[in-house]
Chain A
């Protein structure tokens, strides 16, 4: 793995009310990658991000960003990081231009109208630059929050549930921006509970639940694992055993002999279905329906969360 830009070591967080939000997280995030953190509500995703960004104080463990400790060397680490929060928190009475410029200033960067213009144009906000935030729709406000996070040219961008309540157009725009940022070398960490989103854009996927990181895996490896498919044949009449003629297919008999299940690798290009169907009719087995099922991230996710529960 290339140089880690974010490195989380044994991170724990217990809130004042006794709630243990993080129970020892270890995570390395490589420079330039897109990492998706999946998990149900209350899993600890936002707490993890908040600690890395400096909004929440860790109870134990440490986080390094660009080699610096996020608590001790907060000036170095926070200058590297841009954060798009989950909630649409905006200064209602400010204009888009002012609020985005303000963010740049807060991060200690000299004014650069050309950069702000570039960011606003990329997010289709340029014609709204003089609008007050309260005049904007929810989706537009989300864009403004992204623009604020990009105003100071961060090397790492955190997107906390960026697509919550966002329409198709914005989602498309957002992934375009994310792709462009990745091309320019920016590391992106996003949290989501939409699995398709993680499948669509992430390089690696992490699953968090109950304050623990249950899995972090390269998406391709994960998808390979997930690639297994099943063909389910609903039989016209129940059978007691799988006929020996079909032994080569390793079929399983289910639902009291009324269904045959065939497991196969979906990524394998060889045609196996036609021979199976031929063999079936050869063995005189008639079926009234057939369906296929593919393991998805969702299945893994549900099984991971389920195992724990």
Chain B
């Protein structure tokens, strides 16, 4: 194992976060605070408790997931897309680094950034509403698995994308509807039966529901199914990335 290389890539990627602190940390915290002010305090005070949980507290896990998914995908995709775009990828390809090591460096850094912001949002939420975590171990499991999986998905998008348009296609057009319709802001039990059925095809529902269960013990779907779904998704992404590495897809001719 080329530990030195993995460390170098990881540190290099994390250093970019420091340079873009405003964009990577301050902006998600600000937008989450706005959500809490609008939905938590202003509108939330008129909304009745959901299964015994106040609306502000109810949306906290969903908001963390919302930011986590978006950030991990954008960080994961940008990290590998940028060297492809500038051409500095030549260095990665000509270094004694294996593909899994490249993956660890980039995905590890993207997931770390996502988790960092997730924790900051959790602390921000704590300042506005009551947050309790009933199943801390499961909470951490969901948290980390989601961060890694979606950073991996971002990495795949970054390799696949051949221009900035494609790079932002999935994060801006696919992820927002999935997260907003995935029960970040409501329990799907509030939906008409047809839309409840449709929602069950949305993978994000399982993430949000499982994550919320680890906080308050309430969920739209069985938390173990949530766990299975995320693990399956993780394995699917790993399989895809393995194929990409084996064939040199859009990295190597």
Contacts and interface: CB of A to CB of B under 8 A. Distances in A.
Given A78-B95, A108-B4, A109-B4, A89 B15 contact: no
B253 interface: yes
Contacts of A54: 93-94
Q: Interface residues of B toward A: which range? A: 20 to 34
A89 B4 contact: no
A110 B248 CA distance: 28
Nearest to A103: B91
B91 A106 contact: yes
A112 to B, nearest CB: 11
A57 B253 contact: yes
Interface stretch (A90-98, A203-211, A226-234, A251-259): A90-98
Interface in B1-21: 2-5, 7-9, 11-12, 15-16, 19
A75 B87 contact: no
Contacts, number: 76
A238 B79 CA distance: 75
Interface in B60-102: 83, 86-88, 90-98
B104 to A, nearest CB: 13
Contacts of A56: 252-253
A106 B97 contact: yes
Q: Interface residues of A toward B: which range? A: 20 to 34
B93 A55 contact: yes
B5 A108 contact: yes
Contact of A148 (B2, B16, B91, B93): B91
Given A102-B8, A106-B5, A53 B94 contact: yes
Nearest to B88: A89
Interface of A: 15-16, 53-57, 74-79, 81, 83, 85, 87, 89-93, 98, 102-103, 105-110, 148
5 contacts: A56-B252, A75-B98, A78-B94, A83-B91, A90-B88
Given A90-B86, A105-B5, A110-B4, 4 more contacts: A78-B96, A83-B94, A93-B19, A148-B91
